[in-house]
Amino acid sequence: MEPAKMGSFSPSHPPKGRFAPSPSGRMHLGNALCALLAWLFARSQGGSIVLRTEDLDPQRCRPEYALQIEEDFRWLGLDWDEGGSRGGKPTSYFQSRRSLFYEDCLEILRQKADIYPCFCTRAELHTAEAPHFADGRFLYSGRCYRLKTQEREALLKTRRPSLRIHVPDGDISFQDGLLGPYTENLAKECGDFILRRSDGVFAYQMAVSCDDGAMGVTQVVRGRDLLSSTPRQIFLLRLLGYPEPQYYHIPLLLSPDGIRLSKRDKALDLGRLRERYSPEKLVGLLAFLSGLISRSEPLTPQELLSVFNPETIKREDIRLPASLYQE
């Protein structure tokens, strides 16, 4: 029998989607769009949703933001099945409390791949010689991979290293549900990447892969800016023995001058938006902006389900009208 394609609709295998917010500030309109589409993709196929709080970075993340995000999801009319204040099976859905689990995953990875300490400083990594790509990424040279045992031991006495994983020289491909086929050769386009930072904090790529795998996530809906992270995550998922989810990378929201929204754009954070809009009006606006409906009209997420057609979702980034900032 053919195995069911992960994430495709099958009544006996409804998908498991996720919300994976980083509580580093109040959500903005782009985060709300991502949550709404993740909810629509999962619920339209009879699936469930995990709320996982990606609060790895202790400098940027705060528990009060995590609570606020849950409250904003509820205000929008979005619900979920596991995680956040609903609890569930893993001991915690907060990444900051899952280090022991990541340590276990690291041990599994050590058995399957070359994991080594990297002593390069930020300045050394960003030298002019390192090939840089248009999206700001650069290729790691593999300098610390080539260290001799003695050199490595000497350096271990002077600096706390980060941990990198050695990547293969071969293509990793997947079929994005919205953007189509995507292929990357990690050795040529990314280089060995970091699993744990020198301050001991696990890297985003590591935590997200371990969690998507362990939490049984089969459907990932997120911003297009993470498209190029996906081959690294698929590489780790395969090493850890987890199946690959179906990915849908959605367009980003841009300001009228073409700049990506960030949590610093206070004008479009949920706090300000909630003063100006009802939840239905905001959901209708997001549905219109993303191409799901042809004119902005108030709707609940539940009402949107009956007209949800992923084919109509825009593939290009969405430039917001200036009027949105002025109302």
Residue 250 interacting with ligand GLU (CB under 6 A): no
Angle at 93 between CA 88 and CA 95, to 5 degrees: 165
- The nearest distance, CB 196 to ligand GLU, in angstroms, is 17
Q: Restricting to residues 291-320, which ones interact with ligand GLU according to CB under 6 A?
A: none
Residue 217 interacting with ligand GLU (CB under 6 A): no
Report the distance separating Cα 21 and Cα 33, nearest Å.
12
Q: Which of 26, 222, 232, 249 binds ligand GLU (CB under 6 A)?
A: 222
- The nearest distance, CB 55 to ligand GLU, in angstroms, is 9
Q: What is the C-alpha R_g of the chain?
A: 21
Residue 226 interacting with ligand GLU (CB under 6 A): yes
For residues 41 to 70, the per-residue mask of contacts with ligand GLU, x marking binding by CB under 6 A and - elsewhere, is -------------x----------------
Residue 213 interacting with ligand GLU (CB under 6 A): no
Pairing of strands 246-250, 193-196: unpaired
User: How far is C-alpha 168 from the chain's CA centre?
Assistant: 23
Residue 178 interacting with ligand GLU (CB under 6 A): no
User: Which is closer to ligand GLU, CB of 16 or CB of 222?
Assistant: 222
Residue 208 interacting with ligand GLU (CB under 6 A): yes
Residue type, 138: F
The stretch among 20-28, 136-144, 155-163, 253-261 that binds ligand GLU (CB under 6 A) is 20-28
User: Which is closer to ligand GLU, CB of 20 or CB of 287?
Assistant: 20
Residue 252 interacting with ligand GLU (CB under 6 A): no
140-to-109, 137, 155, 191 alpha-carbon distances in Å: 20, 9, 19, 5
- The nearest distance, CB 236 to ligand GLU, in angstroms, is 12
Residue 196 interacting with ligand GLU (CB under 6 A): no
Q: Where do we find the tokens 């859905």?
A: 93
Helix or strand run (H / E) with residue 164: strand 162-165
Cβ-count burial 193-212 (b if 16+ within 10 Å, e if not): bbbbbbeebbbbbbbbbbbb
Residue type, 256: P
The stretch among 14-22, 113-121, 236-244, 251-259 that binds ligand GLU (CB under 6 A) is 14-22
**Do the beta carbons of residue 44 and residue 238 sit within 8 Å?**
no
- List interacting residues with ligand GLU (CB under 6 A): 20-22, 54, 208, 222, 226
